[in-house]
Amino acid sequence: MQSSRRAARDSRREGQETAELGGQSPVKRGWFQGLARLFGWKPSPQKAGETNANALLAFPSETVSRPEPAPIADVAKRVGHKVAPPAKTATAPPKLPRAMLIAGAVAGLAGLSALAIQLYPILQVTTKAPQPGNLTINTRPSDAEVLIDGTRRGTTPLTLPLTPGTHTMTVRSGGDERVVPLNIASGAEVNHYFEMKAVEPAVVVGRVSIVTDPPGARVAVDGKARGTSPIIVTDLTPADHKVTVTSDTGSAERTITVAAGGTASVMFSLPKVSGPVGGWLSIAAPFDLEVVEHDEVIGSGATSRIMVAAGRHDITLINRSLGYQEARRIEVAAGKTMAIRIDPPKVSVSVNARPWAEVTLDGNSVGQTPISNLLITVGEHEMVFRHPQLGERRQTVTVTAKGTNRIAADLTK
């Protein structure tokens, strides 16, 4: 009895082990078959007579039945005629797995998308704001005032940004002024250089012309001896000064006011013992002159009244800066004034501009450059060059009686 129970338990344990080795559990077989159906695979039907036994425990000798030996008569019949081969059955073409179809569709869509992007690119148009341009101005001498569209922007050297478009630039240095139209492009670098007229240093001294009758008196200014009359004392500060003259017959003193850059004149009449009676020499000229007699300066200034001895005099009128010199012989009557008026001579002047300009001289139009053999009196004149695109340039010119006078202006700078 106990041996039969032990044999039953052993047979059940062997059956369970055989089932575990022989295949998958029903749960495992269920999810595997579902996944296989998703990819289009169908399990083949189980043939009759097959078991779920583990193949390792199945032996051919146990699963295949041995054929019974055929009788000799049946063998003879088989030898007598040939056995017809089994008929071939038509088989359906294999079906493609569903996963392969899905993968092919996805790949095709990706290829079409890439081709569409290449053939029809998306253009992104980005509107950029205009970039300001940079304007650089240099002048010689520096520290010239710069105005853009009438607004002061600083002094040279100067670099400043400007919005694209048209502007008007004005550069000023002392009495010299340049007006230039500008056209600034986006992001452009524009440079301008100007040769400005140098500012003349301020005159901080003055002069005094001292004449005595009779001449030869000793002269002192502010108590300091300066020589004998007639004399011109230079480098006097703009202020009041005390002039003292002394001779053998007496002395005199006077306070005069000296202006910066000007020439003051003073005349003293001293007691006389004997001698000729003197007269006066009056000179009117558009510029300063020195009156020289026997290599000595006896008077100076644009308007001078000089006391001289009565009689004949050989004088020379000189302005060294203008190259002007004129010799004259005069007769001065006793107690009378001899008046001399100077008419400045005219000289030839050539005027040109780059590229060209309309020229006015002292407010009067003289034509369009180039201009040659223009007759102008010696001295200082104001000349204006105008160009419709490059603006206007105004400058003071000095025409001299020495050499050739050439005046030029470069409006492109």
Q: What is the pLDDT of residue 302?
A: 60
What is each CA distance from 32 to 42, 126, 241, 268, 393, in whole angstroms? Answer: 11, 56, 130, 143, 100
Query: Alpha-carbon distance 190 to 357, whole Å?
Result: 23
For the chain, percent helix, then strand, then coil, each to nearest 5?
A: 15, 45, 40
Query: Alpha-carbon distance 221 to 245, whole Å?
Result: 9
Query: Alpha-carbon distance 205 to 227, whole Å?
Result: 19
Query: Alpha-carbon distance 27 to 33, whole Å?
Result: 10
| DSSP classification of residue 87 | P
**Which helix (DSSP H) or strand (DSSP E) does residue 105 occupy?**
helix 98-119
Q: What is the pLDDT of residue 166?
A: 93
The two counts, helices (H) then strands (E), for the chain are: 5, 28
What residues in the chain have per-residue pLDDT under 50? 1-3, 15, 17-28, 39, 46-65, 70, 72-77, 79-84, 86-92, 122-125
Query: Alpha-carbon distance 184 to 232, whole Å?
Result: 58
Residue 37's identity, in one-letter code, is: R
Bridge partners, 281 (sequence order): 306, 338
Neighbours of 331 (CB within 10 A): 11
Query: Alpha-carbon distance 292 to 189, whole Å?
Result: 59
**Neighbouring C-alpha atoms within 13 Å toward the C-beta of 63:** 13
- The beta-strand segments (E) located in 131-247 are 133-140, 145-148, 151-155, 158-162, 165-173, 176-184, 189-195, 206-213, 218-221, 224-228, 231-236, 240-246
Nearest to 247 by CA among 223, 278, 269: 269
Nearest to 230 by CA among 312, 317, 138, 292: 292
Q: What is the pLDDT of residue 383?
A: 92
Query: Alpha-carbon distance 48 to 377, whole Å?
Result: 142
Question: pTM of the predicted model, to two decimals?
Answer: 0.34
Query: Alpha-carbon distance 186 to 163, whole Å?
Result: 8
Pairing of strands 346-354, 405-410: parallel
Burial 30-51 (b: 16+ CB within 10 A, else e): eeeeeeeeeeeeeeeeeeeeee
Domains, the chain, with CATH or none: 2-39+55-63 (no CATH), 133-195 (2.60.40.10), 201-275 (2.60.40.10), 277-343 (2.60.40.10), 346-410 (2.60.40)
Rg (CA), the chain: 63
Nearest to 207 by CA among 263, 266, 265: 263
Query: Alpha-carbon distance 352 to 369, whole Å?
Result: 5
Token pair belonging to 31:
């999810």
Q: What is the pLDDT of residue 192?
A: 92
Query: Alpha-carbon distance 369 to 361, whole Å?
Result: 13
Q: What is the pLDDT of residue 263?
A: 86
At 44, give phi and psi (nearest 5°).
-75, 145
- Look up tokens 């695979």; give the residue: 41
Nearest to 370 by CA among 352, 358, 383, 386: 352
CB–CB of 314/329 below 8 Å?
yes
Token pair belonging to 207:
């002069």
Neighbours of 212 (CB within 10 A): 23
Q: Collapsing DSSP states into helix, strand and coil, what is residue 31?
A: helix
Neighbours of 344 (CB within 10 A): 17
Q: What is the DSSP string of 383-413?
A: EEEEETTTEEEEEEEEE-SSS-EEEEEETT-
